[in-house]
Structure 1
Amino acid sequence: DEAYRVIGHVRPSDLAVLESLLELVTIIAREDVADEDRTAAATALSNGPASRNGSVTDAHLLALAWTLDADLWSHDRDFAGTGWPSWSTANLLSAV
């Protein structure tokens, strides 16, 4: 719903593109990510050497990556030092 709201407001001409992209995306419910994983992810982020700012706002993303055994695509340096693969756009483009 949020994607439709934002794209509809910012670039309504791209709503058809959004439709196509959403056909490729699987939405994972919060309940499908274990509470233990979210807690462990928060701990990993708060202890991560990249920023050491204690921010755990992205713990749900790290826990989801663990759940799906998937790498992260983000420019957020907080994932560095968690022991989980994360890619910036530049690094991802260099690798493919």
Structure 2
Amino acid sequence: MLRALPGVRGETTAQAETLLSGLAVVEAVGYAELLPEAARVLSDAVASRNGSASDAHVLACAWLLDADIWSHDRDFAGTGWPSWSNANLLRALESA
């Protein structure tokens, strides 16, 4: 599908297809029991300080899958769970 897009380089589509092949959709029922704790942790996180728990599903999925979070949302700072912005992730990958 990506290869049919005009103006997109073959290397770019190959990289995108590699990334997308590793993605899986997580059913809400899979992380539902983690949501209350994720909401509590987010509402107490220093970075947000606004009590927002709107991203609790993201944190709950990260816990479920033992995966880092890739986001520019600063609300994950202070949760005790690894999160990466594009810039920080690129720097880490370049130095690896």
TM-score, L = length of structure 1: 0.75
Give the match for residue 54 of structure 2. 57
Give the match for residue 39 of structure 2. 42
Give the match for residue 88 of structure 1. 85
Question: Which of 26, 29, 33 in structure 2 is aligned with 1:28?
Answer: 26
Task: Give the deviation of 1:25 after TM superposition.
Answer: 1.7
Number of equivalenced pairs: 81
Deviations 1:18-51 (A, max 9, x none): xx4654321110111142x110000000000012
Distance 1:87 1:23 in 2: 20
TM-score, L = length of structure 2: 0.75
Deviations 1:25-82 (A, max 9, x none): 21110111142x1100000000000121111110000000000000000000000000
Larger CA Rg, structure 1 vs 2: 2
* Identity rate, percent: 57
Where does structure 1 differ by over 4 angstroms across 4 or more consecutive aligned residues? none
Uncovered stretches (5+) of structure 2, i.e. residues with no partner = 7-12
Uncovered stretches (5+) of structure 1, i.e. residues with no partner = 1-12
